[in-house]
Amino acid sequence: MKNSAMVMQIQDPASQRLTWYKPPLTVLVIKKKDSQVLLPFVQLVEWLVQEKNMVVWVESAVLEDKLLRDDVKLEQESAKFRQVHEYYTGVRSRFQALREKLVTFKDGRDDLTDRIDFIVCLGGDGTLLYASQLFQQSVPPVMAFYLGSLGFLTPFQCDNFQEQVTNVLEGHAALTLRSRLRCSIHRKGERRRESLQQASNNLLKPSLQSQYGYGPMGNSNSNNNCNLSSSNNSILVLNEVVINRGPSPYLSNIDIFLDGKYITSVQGDGLIVSTPTGSTAYAAAAGASMIHPSVPAILVTPICPHSLSFRPIVVPAGVELKISISPDSRNTSRVSFDGRNDQELNHGDSLRVTTSIYPVPSICSQDQISDWFDSLAEGLHWNVRKRQKCLDELSDLTTSSSEDTLDEFDNLKIYDA
């Protein structure tokens, strides 16, 4: 085309490669709460500290794990726990030698922003979702090992973790940028309160503003982490945000707006707004299509809609969805974010959802295509069926009573030869 502005630029996902601008020094190791993960966890941490000289961060709860402590009063524990505690004696002694070299953090108290170079997850998909929740802005590259039950998002095996981690540290790995959704709840009357606060701030002299701690948006010392009921507060989700009717016996009645334009209303059990990564989770169970995580899109899937023609839809990643309770709805709704932070959505409230600028860079075991289709095959047994047998022309033709047909078959063999 003569006009270059009319040409669409499409990025090849294979071009997304891991590149370190400086050698990684700090690693965050997150494990699931399962005794079977203790041995690979200690082996990994021991190797990272002793062989790679890396600073390892772990949750503070790991140091409180009774199976990794020697000062547990076993007489107060059950017989089964005492047996398991004795079984992990060797693992516990190895961990005690590393205990003082580890850096700990606590979720909700410590900010990990710009402190971690990359993340290693030991567990299932929930472990990766938890890692995503810890970073509400830029996320370090995530290397997820499969030690769970499903493993859609965990492509690595622990058998030869030394070789795999070394390849990642040297930058020999592909990346899948998994988009996240930025969600915020706007409460009824909140805009009016903000406009009134803004007007009152404008009436105050600058000296009074500094004296009483008022800023352009109100009290500058307000806590933004208490909930999502402010336009300044948002949460990033990797899988989906779900709006449902909760314990109410009535159908949900939810209005959907796309970039400010009314689209439709959902009358049913609820609505799922998911990322392409979340398309293989709750949305897939509700009938949505499975979308590769490199596709920039947002999935909107109704939950048991009262209309059989209401099919799941896919909208561009750049739009903003506004979801609110219909004025004539008989009940309120509940909203949850990746299965956490469950809150009530009342009449007059609205939920705003759009694609975040902070994806989760997930390190691939092979490449973006192979990892995804392998996860579909292993996790969902996608397109696994009993194959149709091939047509045996010889046995089919020999059962025919026509001699002409056999002659034709002989001639065909001579022709093929």
**Pairing mode of beta strands 55-59, 103-105:** parallel
CB 1 within 8 A of CB 7: yes
**58-73 average pLDDT score:** 89
Quick: pLDDT tens for 348-378.
999 999 999 999 999 999 999 999 999 999 8
Question: To which H or E segment does residue 394 belong?
Answer: helix 393-398
CB atoms within 10 A of CB 399: 7
CB atoms within 10 A of CB 80: 8
Q: Amino acid letter at 276?
A: P
What domains does the chain contain, in order, with CATH numbers?
17-174 (3.40.50.10330), 182-189+234-358 (2.60.200.30)
Q: Which residue has the higher pLDDT, 221 or 281?
A: 281
Quick: pLDDT tens for 258-316.
999 999 999 999 999 999 999 999 999 999 999 999 999 999 999 999 998 999 999 99
At 14 the pLDDT is 76
CB atoms within 10 A of CB 75: 6
Given a cut of 90, whether residue 74 has pLDDT beyond it is no
Please tell me the total number of residues recorded for the chain in this structure.
417
Q: Where are the beta strands (DSSP E) in 32-116?
A: 55-59, 103-105
Percentage of the chain lying above the pLDDT 90 cut:
57
**Phi-psi map region of 399: left, alpha, beta (phi>0 left; psi -120 to 50 alpha):** alpha
> How far, in Å, CA of 304 to CA of 286, rounded?
7
